[in-house]
Amino acid sequence: MYIFCIVLILIASVFMILAVLAQNPKSGMAANFGASNQVMGVRQTSDFLEKTTWGLAVAIVVLSLVATMSMPKESVMSSKSELEQAIEKSLDGGNTLANPIQLPTQGAEEGEGSAE
């Protein structure tokens, strides 16, 4: 499922690039050449390309979320830092952290206070 989503994201990305490149620029140097498009009546084409661009953008976002949710646990665990893995172990009831902070015990405080 993960690989399938990645392939769909790549295909949608290529189609989005093509749709953006095919759109008529609204301003700039190339806008002078766009007048012929309106004379020929291709206004529907620009609307279609704009809707396609937005649809592909939404599809890429949704497919990215689906791919993230279906990512294999092995690749997720290998990408986590050692600290995150140690925290998860300690929360799951496993071993404690490798370098725990040692707090002073009650007897040590009394021994230091009696020297006054």
pLDDT digits (tens, 9 = 90+) for 73-93: 776 667 777 777 778 788 876
Name residue 101's amino acid: I
- Which domain covers residue 78, as residue numbers? 2-91
Residue 57 CA to residue 76 CA, distance in Å, equals: 26
Beta strands in 5-116 (DSSP E): none
Q: What is the pLDDT of residues 36-47, one digit of tens each?
A: 555 545 567 778
- Please report whether residue 96 resides in a domain: no
CA distances from 65 to 47, 61, 107 (A): 28, 6, 54
Q: What local confidence, expressed as pLDDT, does residue 98 receive?
A: 55
Among 11-15, 22-26, 106-110, which stretch is predicted with the lowest mean pLDDT?
Answer: 106-110
Q: Is the pLDDT of residue 113 over 60?
A: no
Q: What's the distance, CA 53 to chain centroid?
A: 20
- Please report whether residue 30 resides in a domain: yes
- Please report whether residue 108 resides in a domain: no
- Please report whether residue 75 resides in a domain: yes
Q: What is the pLDDT of residues 50-64, one digit of tens each?
A: 899 999 999 999 999
- Please report whether residue 66 resides in a domain: yes
- Please report whether residue 65 resides in a domain: yes
pLDDT band, residue 10 (cuts 50/70/90):
very high
Residue 26 CA to residue 65 CA, distance in Å, equals: 32
- Please report whether residue 28 resides in a domain: yes
For the chain, what is the domain count?
A: 1
- Please report whether residue 97 resides in a domain: no
**pTM exceeding the 0.85 threshold for the entire prediction:** no
Question: What's the token pair of residue 43?
Answer: 């206004």
> DSSP code of 28?
S
Residue 53 CA to residue 34 CA, distance in Å, equals: 19
Question: What's the token pair of residue 8?
Answer: 């769909």
